[in-house]
């Protein structure tokens, strides 16, 4: 499939090599504005590397990335973020010594004056339903709370495309349900790509799923269809391995 | 309230410095004034590294490159111009520009951490090597002969700005102390500005700062250039204070001392490196007067003890002790409790 016209994000033959290892292999991927897409795949499938290419943390070996019709492949991270892509990384990336509020406020202050940044920080913590931890140093917070603080930071930058790398990792039931609600509420106004392993969480938030396997897109489709797909079960759920054992 | 407390601390330190500026020349003899002038110059040199390391996360193993460049640039320009005010300003601008060019290749070339430190060290050593091989009469810039290992003598004494009157030792101490206060306050203003907070956030988490949309290369370059300008300014002050400069200004020893002063005083503070300079230089001076043992050995032992007992540096450790003592003093007495 080639880059679809009218898509907010379209990669074409995107490839990322590390020496002899091809982590992302000729990926053609497109996303419509307002869409919420989940990426799944076993560890090492290339999902996080794909995200790093989209955000400029890695310079693709070849191929193109069009964001809103503009080529962003190989551009620097700050240029890509300024164009409207925000990412919550797999391991929460926070300023450990600062409070939750200060973290989010710092994120908001790139595009806003100090008073407006403070307002946005308050709004984002409310949106995540964690205003009670605003004053606490993020280094002391539980993993799930740290995930929410980082998501608040990402949203404070007002991105048009939000990349979430395993946002539900380390979250308990109620916290995870709250996050699913937040993610669902973001879709429509924002475009989202969510990398996740938790299939129940995926069913809660998305209808379309893309499966990565060995750096390539293996299949795309409706979540129920994907989950029922025997080959997906083999590569993702390891039935092949289980059968062999 | 936190900001008020921060500025109250800064004002207190500045007031102490101002008192030193006002009273030292009257209360101390000439030798002591000259000695303290040396501490002040080296304190500005230490601040040049303390700022980029403590507030930008950039470790320079070759800060002497800027110190030496500042000394030589000031010597050459002031000998040719026959005055000191414009040469001093030109030296600062030149060192800023040199740091900007060097920093451009390092930061835009995505060098980081220890590699960056090694590059700065190599650059300083190359400069030391180059300047050491300028002994012949052909190595002259205008009226200033570079002099190879012998260095440049007869560098003009600092004049009262925009006049041709040379400062006496007391005036030079006060002028340099005034510059130290200015640099100290300027760095605090920079650190507390939006620019400073972003520089600190780069030190804390470079990846996240980039992902928030800040161009980390630009911020690091600016921090490094400011550090270079300060290092150059201190080199110029050193040259006019001694009326002499030689290749040792670029030496590994000068770079290492700067790292030690900052580390001993406390990385991430501005007062710490100043305390580090005064404490260790005073100790070196006193050890040099004794014949008990090689003073470098004793200094080495002192540094090892400092690292073991005060790993965060003198000032942060004393600050913690003071805070704990105050907290204890504020607690109601429990002596009579059952």
Query: What are the extents of the domains in chain B?
Result: 8-252
Do A33 and A79 belong together in one domain?
A: yes
- For residue A96, the chain B residues in CB contact (below 8 A) are 204-205
Of the candidates B205, B213, B217, the beta carbon closest to that of A95 is on B205
Range of the domain at A154: 91-158
Cα dihedral sign, B2-B4-B6-B8: negative
Do A95 and A79 belong together in one domain?
A: no
Please check whether residue B112 touches A, CB under 8 A. no
Please check the confidence at residue A172 and state whether its pLDDT lies above 80. Answer: no
Please check whether residue B211 touches A, CB under 8 A. yes
Do A97 and A200 belong together in one domain?
A: no
Render pLDDT for A38-53 as a digit per residue (tens, 0 to 9). Answer: 999 888 889 999 999 9
HEC profile for chain B?
Answer: CHHHHHHHHHHHHHHHHHHHHHHHHHHCCHHHHHHHHHHHHHHHHHHHHHHHHHHHCCCCCCCHHHHHHHHHHHHHHHHHHCCCHHHHHHHHHHHHHHHHHHHHHHHCCCCCHHHHHHHHHHHHHHHHHHHHCCCCCCCEECCEECCHHHCECCCCCCECCCCCCECCHHHHHHHHHHHHHHHHHHHHHHHHCHHHHHHHHHHHCHHHHHHCCCCHHHHHHHHHHHHHHHHHHHHHHHHHHHCCECHHHHCHHHHHHHHHHHHHHCCCCCHHHHHHHHHHHHHHHHHHHCCCCCHHHHHHHHHHHHHHHCCCCHHHHHHHHHHHHHHHHHCCCCCCCC
Within-domain flag for A244: yes
- Record: contact A110-B194, CB cut-off 8 A: no
Mean pLDDT of the residues in chain A: 87
- Record: contact A95-B201, CB cut-off 8 A: yes
Q: Which residues contact A83 (CB under 8 A, 6 or more apart)?
A: A67, A68, A70, A72
- Record: contact A81-B205, CB cut-off 8 A: no
Confidence at B333, pLDDT banded by 50, 70, 90:
low
Within-domain flag for A219: yes
**Domain total for chain A?**
2
Render pLDDT for B139-180 as a digit per residue (tens, 0 to 9). Answer: 999 999 999 999 999 999 999 998 989 999 999 999 999 999
Within-domain flag for A187: no
Within-domain flag for A147: yes
Do A74 and A167 belong together in one domain?
A: yes
B199: closest chain A residue by CA = A106
Residue B311's CB is within 10 A of a number of other CB atoms, namely: 10
Question: HSE on the CB side for A192, CA within 13 Å?
Answer: 29
- Record: contact A107-B210, CB cut-off 8 A: no
Please check the confidence at residue A2 and state whether its pLDDT lies above 50. Answer: no
Do A148 and A168 belong together in one domain?
A: no
Do A60 and A75 belong together in one domain?
A: yes
CATH number at A12 reads 3.40.50.300
Do A43 and A4 belong together in one domain?
A: yes
What's the average model confidence in pLDDT over B4-8? 83
Within-domain flag for A180: no
Please check the confidence at residue B91 and state whether its pLDDT lies above 80. Answer: yes
- Record: contact A93-B216, CB cut-off 8 A: no
A163: closest chain B residue by CA = B211
Do A23 and A126 belong together in one domain?
A: no
What's the average model confidence in pLDDT over A207-231? 87
Within-domain flag for A186: no
- Record: contact A78-B213, CB cut-off 8 A: yes
């Amino acid at each position: 499939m080639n880059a679809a016209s009218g898509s907010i994000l379209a990669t074409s033959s995107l490839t990322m090599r590390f020496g002899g290892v091809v982590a992302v292999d000729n990926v053609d991927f497109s996303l419509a504005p307002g869409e919420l897409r989940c990426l799944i795949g076993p560890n090492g499938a290339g999902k996080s590397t794909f995200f790093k290419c989209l955000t400029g943390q890695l310079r693709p070996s070849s191929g193109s990335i069009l964001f809103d019709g503009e080529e962003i492949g190989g551009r620097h991270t700050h240029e890509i973020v300024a164009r409207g892509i925000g990412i919550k990384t797999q391991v929460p990336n926070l300023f450990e010594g600062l409070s939750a509020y200060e973290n989010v406020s710092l994120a908001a202050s790139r595009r806003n004056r100090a008073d407006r940044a403070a307002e946005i920080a308050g709004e984002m913590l409310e949106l995540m339903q964690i205003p009670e931890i605003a004053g606490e140093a993020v280094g002391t917070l539980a993993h799930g709370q740290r995930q929410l603080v980082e998501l608040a930071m990402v949203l404070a930058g007002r991105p048009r495309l939000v990349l979430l790398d395993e946002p539900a990792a380390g979250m308990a039931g109620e916290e995870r349900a709250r996050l699913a609600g937040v993610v669902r509420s973001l879709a429509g106004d924002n475009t989202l790509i969510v990398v996740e392993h938790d299939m129940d969480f995926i069913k809660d938030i998305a209808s379309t799923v893309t499966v990565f396997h060995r750096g390539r897109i293996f299949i795309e489709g409706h979540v129920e269809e994907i989950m029922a797909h025997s080959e997906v079960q083999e590569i993702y759920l390891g039935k092949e391995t289980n059968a062999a054992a | 309230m936190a900001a008020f407390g921060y500025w109250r601390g800064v004002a207190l330190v500045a007031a102490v410095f101002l008192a030193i500026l006002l009273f030292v020349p009257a209360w101390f003899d000439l030798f002591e004034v000259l000695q303290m002038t040396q501490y002040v110059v080296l304190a500005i040199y230490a601040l040049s590294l303390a700022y980029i390391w403590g507030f930008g996360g950039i470790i320079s193993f070759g800060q002497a490159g800027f110190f030496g460049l500042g000394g030589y640039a000031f010597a050459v320009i002031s000998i040719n111009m026959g005055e000191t005010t414009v040469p001093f300003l030109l030296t600062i601008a030149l060192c800023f520009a040199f740091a900007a060019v060097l920093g451009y290749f390092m930061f835009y070339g995505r060098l980081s951490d220890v590699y960056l430190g090694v590059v700065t060290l190599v650059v300083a050593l190359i400069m030391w090597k180059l300047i050491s091989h300028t002994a012949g009469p052909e190595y002259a810039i205008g009226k200033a002969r570079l002099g190879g290992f012998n260095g440049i003598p007869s560098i003009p004494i600092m004049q009262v700005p925009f006049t041709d009157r040379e400062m006496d030792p007391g005036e030079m101490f006060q002028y340099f102390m005034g510059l130290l206060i200015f640099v100290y306050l300027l760095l605090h203003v920079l650190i507390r500005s939006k620019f400073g907070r972003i520089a600190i956030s780069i030190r804390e988490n470079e990846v996240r700062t980039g992902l928030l949309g800040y161009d980390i290369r630009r911020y690091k370059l600016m921090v490094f250039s400011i550090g270079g300008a300060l290092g150059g300014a201190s080199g110029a002050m050193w040259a006019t204070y001694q009326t002499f400069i030689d290749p040792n200004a670029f030496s590994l020893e000068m770079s290492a001392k700067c790292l030690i002063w900052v580390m001993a005083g406390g990385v991430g503070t501005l007062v710490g490196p100043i305390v580090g300079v005064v404490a260790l230089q005073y100790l070196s001076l006193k050890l040099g007067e004794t014949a008990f043992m090689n003073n470098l050995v004793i200094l080495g032992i002192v540094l090892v003890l400092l690292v073991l007992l005060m790993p965060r540096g003198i000032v942060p450790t004393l600050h913690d002790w003071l805070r704990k003592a105050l907290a204890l003093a504020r607690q109601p007495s429990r002596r009579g409790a059952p």
